[in-house]
Amino acid sequence: MRRRHNAVPGFALTFGATMLYLSLVVLIPLAAMLLRAASTGPHELFSAIANRRALAAFGLSFGGALLAAAIAAVGGSIAAWVLVRYDFPGRKLFDALVDLPFAMPTAVSGIALATLLAPQGWVGRALLPLGWKLAYTRGGVIVAMVLVSLPFIIRTLQPALADLPLDVEEAAATLGSGRLRTVATIVAPQLLPALGSGFALAFARAVGEYGSVIFIAGNLPGKTEIVPLLIVVELEQYDYAAATALGAAMLAASFAVLLCIHLLPRWMSRRRLAQAGG
């Protein structure tokens, strides 16, 4: 360990404080839940998760969150590009609006979405002739998830984009590269790490989202029900064992997905380096 003059006192003290904080806020509550889940029998645990309703909820929660994060990644990238690379009237205002979903209670955005997307709402009415129905469907769930996860993508991409010098793209052009090639081989790879962490944050937020989803989902068991809602349902029936079992399973699955998202780019670049090493 390097010993350099540092304004914050010693490693031991700060590391201790960090661990204490992490333990109190994150590890101990999680451990309590896992302990609780472990104290239930394996059979009970299995039956709480491996039923049709729970599996459908898991499918919607994780599948929906991944899809929502992907949609947000595309839309958010475009929005971040516009905000960083162009100057237009109202840019500052637009930029401030991005944070609004952070500040709003999610129930408010849920109600707003429900009124908009309902068959009588502005958007719902417009979509009806097309045969599209978003309110009280899985589509509606994904719309709500995209809404709450979008700011994460924009806010993580903005600094990365601002750091991307314009002359790099000009250099690619003078070397004969077309727009498409420049974006694919020069711009995108340099944004990938930022996009990866933005995607992870967006996914995490979408998976954990409760407030805004339940208003728009309709919550039909086995169809538009998400895991967090199912946990609440179990709790309301005083089935603590099933609730903790679902919670533990969700924790494990989320952790696995996030780990994959973080490791994927590193693995990809290592493989590319190994290829180029000739």
Q: Which residues contact 157 (CB under 8 A, 6 or more apart)?
A: 76, 77, 80, 191, 194, 195, 198
- The distance of closest approach from Cβ of residue 191 to another protein in the complex, given in angstroms and rounded to an integer, is 10
Residues 125 and 74: their CA atoms lie apart, in Å, by 26
- The distance of closest approach from Cβ of residue 78 to another protein in the complex, given in angstroms and rounded to an integer, is 21
- The distance of closest approach from Cβ of residue 189 to another protein in the complex, given in angstroms and rounded to an integer, is 5
Please name the residue that has the structure tokens 């104290």: 39
Which is nearer to another protein, 18 or 269 (by Cβ)? 269
- Given a contact cutoff of 8 angstroms between Cβ atoms, the answer to whether 241 and 221 are in contact is no
- The distance of closest approach from Cβ of residue 25 to another protein in the complex, given in angstroms and rounded to an integer, is 35
- Which residues contribute to the site for another protein (CB under 8 A)? 165, 167-168, 170-178, 181, 186, 189-190, 269, 273, 276-278
Which is nearer to another protein, 120 or 174 (by Cβ)? 174
- The distance of closest approach from Cβ of residue 79 to another protein in the complex, given in angstroms and rounded to an integer, is 23
Which is nearer to another protein, 42 or 277 (by Cβ)? 277
- Given a contact cutoff of 8 angstroms between Cβ atoms, the answer to whether 143 and 216 are in contact is yes
Residues 235 and 223: their CA atoms lie apart, in Å, by 20
Which is nearer to another protein, 99 or 170 (by Cβ)? 170
Question: What does residue 131 show for φ and ψ, rounded to 5 degrees?
Answer: 85, 15
- The distance of closest approach from Cβ of residue 171 to another protein in the complex, given in angstroms and rounded to an integer, is 4
Nearest Cα to 118, choosing from 101, 97, 140? Answer: 140
Q: Which residues contact 109 (CB under 8 A, 6 or more apart)?
A: 101, 144, 147, 148, 211, 212
Which is nearer to another protein, 167 or 236 (by Cβ)? 167
Neighbours of 58 (CB within 10 A): 18
Which is nearer to another protein, 153 or 194 (by Cβ)? 194
